[in-house]
Amino acid sequence: MMDAGRHPRIKLLTYSEVEDVSGYVGNFRVRVRKKARYVDENECTACGECVKVCPIVRPDEFQQGLSTRRAIYIPFPQAVPSAYVVDIEACLGDNPIACGKCIEVCDKKCIDFDMRDEIVELNVGAIIVATGMDLYDPTALDEYGYTRFENVITSLEFERLISAGGPTGGHFIRLTDGQPPRRIGFVQCVGSRTNNPVRGNPYCSNICCMNTIKDSLQLKDHYPDIDITVFYMDIRAFGKGFEDLFMRSKAAGVRYVRGLPGEVVEDPQTRNLRVFVENTTAGRIEEYELDMLVLSIGAIPRGDSELVKQLLTLSRTPDGFFMEAHPKLKPVDATTKGVFLAGCAESPKDVKDSVTQASAAAARAEVLLSKSKIQVEATTAVVDAAKCRQCGRCAEVCPFSAIRWEKKQVAQVITAACAGCGTCAAECPFDAIEMRHFSDQAIYAQIDAALERDPLSTIVTFACNWCSYAGADTAGTGRMEYPPNARIIRTMCSGRVDADFVWYAFQKGAPVVLVSGCHYADCHYINANRNTVRRVDALWEGLEKYGVRPERLQLEWCSAAKGQRWAKIMREVEELRVHVTAEEVERTTEVLREAKVPLSSQVWKLKAPTPALLHCLRCGYEWREDYSAEKARSEERMCAACRSNSVRVFI
């Protein structure tokens, strides 16, 4: 910690939050809000005079609320930077009538109530996400009585109670009477390894077994005669040196009972706890009287993970932790290029594994930073000046402002800014934009090839590289079987899917077409996939106009981690396909032969919220709500009944 604070090449921005990230691998622009701490961190010597006069008392978060702090405080003695901070919500303020005492006593004059939040702009080539984890709140597991009995504590509270820097100076005592406990119990897997979502998470939190073993040895050091019982379902001591510690704990006399308590009751007189447990090894119900009970709480994803995910367009695995680019071969690369994962942000892990992964992430980042230049994929847009009719539609839809256009000017692509989503190429009414490596001809050729043999059994499927194609990969990795009828055409973004492509597939005899991509929040090209929805809305209206059942065109969002969802989509779309007859397809190819591709949708012309009927093209569920173009852009449509995104809006 101190090393990081002193390092000449590390700029610490504490009490700060990342607010915005733009750019791409090698060239990110980051906006950080450095919150006002009302104390000049460079001048403050941490003398502590201010604390002596501060009249405001608050629970100390660092000590888990087991002691108090003042409104001006230092989080803990070894804090880096070693500077105080004002809890401005609690502080009475600079008003001399109200208070202002700290200002009077500060010799260095470093308390400044005029301090404001500061916005810091950074340019970086790589980003490491080490946002950590939160801990499970055991309130819901009422049988353990955490909220009812003071002598039931969490494993983190245990740490503070036994720490020399803790509220008791390292004298481990009971909270009710200040006496050292003679008998103590530990309950494992609190909030972990359960399929009941109210009682925690399905995964193993990785750290709790060894943490309890460590706690037991620490207690035996403090109080050699203490009686310790650990209630567990499995002890997972899998790491290097871990089994040794487990054996040492057992040799020290710690009792390990296989079974989790079913009930804890408190003796109101002694405040002792009676713990009832089924000892599954002995096959009997046992009762233990204990002075204290420690709940070994599991790890959970941080509450702000969703925000970080959206800032960096990351993905999260079903457990809620950030998803790696590949679970085995790229375990520290995030799904966004130039972003790496370290520590518990990726999954629960102990100090050693966090340090290991952090060094790995640093090495991966260094591979990037040690180059002066990187090559970027040649998948950018190119304007054919001869075909461009200077309408400017491309510049309008480009999420990256990478197309320069002025009235009566041929559009120009700024290649360095172009991320290659292809939504401009899909939008251009004159086919004047070509995507390198994802050309129109190549996509038409793939549609033709997909429908060449037995078209009636073929679901022409467009999948975006980052989410739905990757979701299909995840389904494969997880061996999730589904009907073999989809033929996938990969594009970088669903925004690349030109309405012409879908129309062409129907003209060529496709019974069903599926367009798939990232959820609104996950779009790797900011919001390019809103254009996908607009085009699909127009296509649905157009298909209906020509008497083609609109449900033959399906739209689905599927994130990279959701293999199950992909398999479900495949099964459901196949269900639609089997009901499309050869005659129906023949009629479609005939009516669409000369039909113009529909490009505009009623829905996207709605300026003000208008009463509308929403109809799920998958399951038929219908509901009413006010709808507008703005809503279509900002909110992902999803059927409340079947979770399909193939939802049509009728005005």
C-beta of 497: minimal distance to another protein in Å?
15
- Listed ranges 51-59, 391-399, 483-491, 550-558: which one lies at the site for another protein (CB under 8 A): 483-491
Partner residues linked to 168 by β-bridges? none
Contact between 575 and another protein by CB under 8 A: the answer reads no
In the bound state with another protein, the residue whose beta carbon lies nearer, of 14 and 589, is 14
- Residue 582: CB minimum distance to another protein, A: 19
Among 27, 168, 176, 564, binds another protein (CB under 8 A): 27
Total number of residues that touch another protein (CB under 8 A): 134
Q: Is 115 in the site for another protein (CB under 8 A)?
A: no
Q: In 10 A of CB 572, how many CB atoms?
A: 19
Is residue 44 a contact partner of residue 108, using CB atoms and an 8 Å limit?
Answer: yes
Around Cβ 177, how many Cβ atoms within 10 Å?
Answer: 13
436 binds another protein (CB under 8 A): yes
Residues 236-295 that bind another protein (CB under 8 A): 239-242, 244-245
Segment near another protein (CB under 8 A); pick from 196-204, 250-258, 432-440, 591-599: 432-440
Which two tokens mark 42? Answer: 């460079």
Task: Encode 162-231 in three state secondary structure.
Answer: HCCCCCCCCCCCCCCCCCCCCEEEEEEEECCCCCCHHHCCCCCCCCHHHHHHHHHHHHHHHCCCCEEEEE
Residue pair 647/616 in contact (Cβ under 8 Å)? The answer is yes
Nearest CA to 131 among 8, 367, 6, 300?
300
Cα angle 375, 343, 157; round to 5? 160
310 binding another protein? (CB under 8 A): no
Length of the chain: 651
User: Which of 168, 194, 412, 446 is the binder for another protein (CB under 8 A)?
Assistant: 446
Out of 58, 81, 252, 412, which residue is the one contacting another protein (CB under 8 A)? 81
| Phi, psi torsion values for 104, nearest 5 degrees | -60, -40
CB of 501 to another protein, least distance (A): 13
Closest distance between another protein and the C-beta of residue 443, in Å?
8
The interface region with another protein, picked from 370-378, 502-510, 531-539, 583-591 by CB under 8 A, is: 370-378
Cis peptide before 81 (omega within 30 of 0): yes
Contact 559, 315 (CB under 8 A): yes
Query: Site for another protein (CB under 8 A): which residue of 192, 315, 317, 380?
Result: 380
Examine residue 549 and tell whether it contacts another protein (CB under 8 A).
Answer: no
Q: How far is the CB of 52 from another protein (least distance, A)?
A: 19
From 280-288, 467-475, 514-522, 600-608, span contacting another protein (CB under 8 A): 467-475
Cα(187)–Cα(331) distance, integer angstroms = 32
> Which range binds another protein by CB under 8 A, 101-109, 117-125, 195-203, 389-397?
117-125
- 9 makes contact with another protein (CB under 8 A): yes
Residues 319-338 that bind another protein (CB under 8 A): 326, 329
Is the Cβ–Cβ distance between 190 and 141 less than 8 Å?
Answer: yes
386 contributes a contact to another protein by CB under 8 A: no
